[in-house]
Structure 1
């Protein structure tokens, strides 16, 4: 299926209309359909009005309840998959203000219990020092002080013992010289410190892995519980809510995790790499 970003919003209204039409074709009231699906009538009403985007599982239950089959089922499930995908482009975020994006992330983090971060290119904001955060925002125009402050403020969530975090970073991400050598050495020290927080697992995937690696890292992604996946690109991010997408990314994460080094071995590598940044040049 070809995904056009501008079609995502339209797919939600198309899905609502299609489900409403199929229910009426089956001769069912919203209340009767809700009973068959073990949902509330309010939920069915919100789905059919477009106020609520149903999950793929919700749509499958509704289609089974109204006994829809064949090409119509295929079409509606395709609409549901597209409706559960959101595109957030960087230009729109910049127009609204990057500090607003930080507020959105903070709200998502507040309702998430289990986090999985795969970081093949650079260090994420929750792990970053102030110097690294400022360097990561250097290409953005204007005063970034408010954004920097909000990024650093979000780091407090790492100390919430009711939440668990797993960070996987490739050696390339850790050693990419985004900031000055001394700032990079301090950043690696920060990673080692965070790795000691009880509810945080921080691992690195070194280039010198023994044996063949069959997985090819493609992009940065974060898995929030089984709620959604955020996949980052150079110009924005895809938000995926389809349970099949979420399961695929969780499986990918587990495979990458099998290559990672954790604990004292991880901290030993970080200390070794930090020394490279502070080693006097010949």
Structure 2
């Protein structure tokens, strides 16, 4: 299925209309359908009005109860997949102000407890030094002081021991020289420091060695309910449990290839020393 970003929002109302139409064609009431699917009548009503975006399993149950088959059922299943995907483009975020995006991320972090970050090409803001944060937004026009402050403020979530964080970075992400050598040495030292927090696990995948998995994008898994996938022009937010499960599987495969613990800190310190020697 091809996802067209401009159609993602409309698919929710299309899905609601399609499910409502399918129930009426079947001659069933919301009360009957709710009972057959072990849902509340309120939930069925909210799905059909577009107030609630159903999960894949919800729609499978509804279609089975209504006896829906063939091309129409396939079309509805495609709609639910699209309805559980959001697209946030970079241009819109920049027009609104990147500090607004930081507020959204902070709210997401506040309601989540288990985080898994796969970082393909850069260090994420939660792990970044102030200098690295500034460099990461340097290409964005306008005053970025609010965005800079919000990014640093968000780092406090790492010290909430009720939450757990696992970061898997490629060697490329760790060593990409976004800063001069002195600044990069400090950035690697920060990774070592943060890795000692009791609720934070950092792993690095070295470039050498056997790596059969093909990493395509930076992504974050929030608990087991949402994945955000970064692209060159924006980010996808995936709620479909099949997507979340797939990315969880990818993450675990990458994590198995990563160097962690004292071995990781030793590797990071070695790379930090290389940057230090470059400035001498």
Give yes or no for contact 2:12–2:83 (8 Å, CA) kept in 1: yes
Which deviates the most, 271-280 or 169-178?
Answer: 271-280
- The aligned length equals 280
Q: Which residue does 1:49 correspond to in 2?
A: 49
Q: Does 2:162 match 1:162?
A: yes
Matches of residues 98-247 of structure 1 in structure 2 within 5 Å? 98-209=98-209, 212-247=210-245
- Compute the displacement of 1:11 (Å): 1.1
Q: 2:120, 2:77 → 1: CA distance?
A: 32
Quote the Cα distance in structure 1 between the aligned partners of 2:171 and 2:33: 53
How many Å separate the matches in 2 of 1:36 and 1:97? 47
Residue in 2 that maps onto 1:258: 256
1:162 Cα deviation from its structure 2 partner:
1.3
* Secondary structure of the structure 1 residue equivalent to 2:215: coil
Match of 2:10, SS? helix
1:7-34 CA distances to partner (integer Å, 9 max, x unpaired)?
1112111100000011112222112211
How far apart, in 2, do the equivalents of 1:11 and 1:176 lie?
A: 39
Deviant stretches of 4+, over 6 Å: none
Q: Deviations over 1:172-194 (max 9, x none)?
A: 00000001211111111110011
Counterparts of 2:154 and 2:31, CA distance in 1 = 43
- 1:138, CA displacement in angstroms? 0.3
Structure 1 partner of 2:12: 12
Hey, what's the Cα distance between the residues in 1 that align with 2:41 and 2:129? Answer: 49
Cα deviation for residue 208 of structure 1 reads: 2.0
Deviations 1:56-115 (A, max 9, x none): 111111112222122221110001001111111000001111111011111111111111
The CA distance in 2 between the partners of 1:80 and 1:188, in whole Å, is 43
Q: Residues 107-162 of structure 1, C-alpha deviation per residue, up to 9 Å, x if partnerless?
A: 11111111110001000011111100000000001111111111111111111111
Normalising by structure 1, what TM-score? 0.97
Residue 60 of structure 2 corresponds to which residue in structure 1? 60
Q: What CA distance in whole angstroms lies between the structure 2 residues aligned with 1:46 and 1:186?
A: 51
Shift of 1:281: 5.8
TM-score by length of 2: 0.97
C-alpha distance in structure 1 between counterparts of 2:31 and 2:163, whole Å: 38
Aligned partners of 2:89, 2:182: CA distance in 1, in Å? 33
Aligned residue in 1 for 2:89:
89
Tell me, what secondary structure is at the counterpart of 2:220? strand
Query: Does the CA-based 8 Å contact 2:182-2:279 persist in structure 1?
Result: no
Give unmatched runs, 5+ long, in structure 1: none
SS at match of 1:109: helix
Equivalent-residue separation in structure 2 for 1:143 and 1:77 (angstroms): 44
Counterpart check, 1:33 vs 2:44: no
In the alignment, the residues of structure 2 paired with residue 231 and residue 102 of structure 1 have an alpha-carbon distance, to the nearest angstrom, of: 16
Deviation at 1:280, TM superposition (A): 4.2
Q: Aligned partners of 1:280, 1:192: CA distance in 2, in Å?
A: 20
